[in-house]
Structures are given as structure tokens and as C-alpha cells.
Amino acid sequence: MSENPRDEIGKTSDTELVRRLLIENYGYAPELVYEIRGRYHKVYAWKPCPLEIRGPDRNGVYFGRIESDGIRLSIEGSFLVGPKATKNVVELDDERARLYLAGESVEIDDKNLHGWVVVKWRSYYIGSAKAKAGRLINYVPKERRLRLEDPAKA
């Protein structure tokens, strides 16, 4: 196996590569078909269906992205992987979850955790982040962030 998973794209099946990365990083991989598309190595996932549907010539929901150091899950990807993940899940309290969903990086207690993690708040899986030096580096897209009201203006 190469240090950079991107080097393996095209050398093995997309589904096989994505499943292996998910199991290595989160301890679980949903039984789905995975396809890696485009120069940004975006991962799309779907479940095969015998019903023939005419429409877009691309299948799947945006599931995540192959990064140079693993797989970063989308919000939907973390929702699918999170409930059965056995490792690299970080649970946030209410205040940290609010800041995270607003697009801010947040402090975590585990200073030794590093790499891609699933972010959980209560019973919800709310996305993924990169853990580094006691912080979760935020990857919530701008268009999906919460807009926090400034209490001083209220």
C-alpha cells in the first residue's frame, strides 16, 4: 500500500479502495458501490437497484473525498459511517457542536488524536474534521454552516 491513497486510484477498483480506507480509518464500511470522480477525487456512493431509472448519467450521493492522508467524509458520508464506526469518532458538547456547525475549528481533549474523524453531537453525526494538535479543523462547507447571532446585538 502506498502512503498516499491517491496514488492507488486507477490501480484497484474504486469500491475496493474506498472500503479499505473506511475500515482502516473508521473500522466500518457500508455495503455500497463507490465511485471516485474528477481531479478532486470526490467519492460518490449508492446502492445498486434493479429498477431502471432514466435521468442523470451519474449515480450516487456525494460521500467524501480521497485526500493524501485518507478519506474525508461529507456530512452525508459521516451520517452513513458514524453509527457503526468503531474508531476515530469525536463527540462534542452542545457549545462545541454549535461552533463547529458555524464553521469554526474547535478544541478537543485528546491532544494525541490526529487524522480524519467523524464528528458526533448527542445522537447525531454532523460531519467530519481533521484532528490535529488538540483541535478539530473544520470542513463544513460555507453554504451549510449555521449563522450564529451575536448575543451583544440581540
Per-residue pLDDT of the chain (154 residues; tens, 9 = 90+): 458 999 999 899 999 999 999 999 999 999 999 999 999 999 999 998 887 766 666 788 999 999 999 999 999 999 999 999 999 999 999 999 999 999 999 999 999 999 999 999 999 999 999 999 999 999 998 999 988 876 655 4
Closest of 16, 120, 18 to residue 65, by C-alpha: 18
Q: Is 145 left (phi over 0), alpha (psi -120 to 50) or beta?
A: beta
CATH architecture for segment(s) 5-141: Roll (3.10)
What is the spatial distance between Cα 10 and Cα 49, in angstroms, rounded to a whole number?
A: 25
pTM as predicted: 0.88
What is the spatial distance between Cα 45 and Cα 36, in angstroms, rounded to a whole number?
A: 9
